Amino acid sequence: MSRDFACEDGQDVMIAGAEHKVVLTGRCGAVSVHGAGHSLSFEAAKALAVSGISNTVEGGSAGSLVVESVKNRVKATVTGAETGKIDVSGAEHRLELTLAGPAQIEVQGAKNVVEWRAEEGVKAPSVSASGIDNKVSRR
């Protein structure tokens, strides 16, 4: 399935199943991706949660981010006046993050890679990592 969807008034969105291609425009509420092989691009979400296997998420800004399970790829900007929480668990995820405000990164599991850069004037995030062969680095 391939679908474009416009979020209105912070609408929550859940994508489930397998191999859907979804484009979200506008400001979404909580965006959840569950399943396998999904491709999602989005403009803005209050929160983003990705679980399952081999999902690819690219795009806009999210106030918080949770990535679980195996081999998910996420490229996003974490925003917010409050501390943006980034929670990664599972194995072999790859995240490329831009931090637009204060952030806290917690990584658990195995062979996860989190690369981040901070926008001008934004401090480095607090980082907590446990597990095996996880890498958190500035890019």
86 forms bridges with which residues in the sheet? 65, 105
Residue 59 reports pLDDT greater than 90: no
Q: What is the pLDDT of residues 62-111, one digit of tens each?
A: 999 999 999 999 999 999 778 999 999 999 999 999 999 999 999 999 99
HSE value, Cβ hemisphere, 13 Å, CA-based, for 13: 30
Q: Which two tokens stand for residue 78?
A: 């974490």
Q: Which two tokens stand for residue 12?
A: 């929550």
Distance CA 78, CA 99 (A): 5
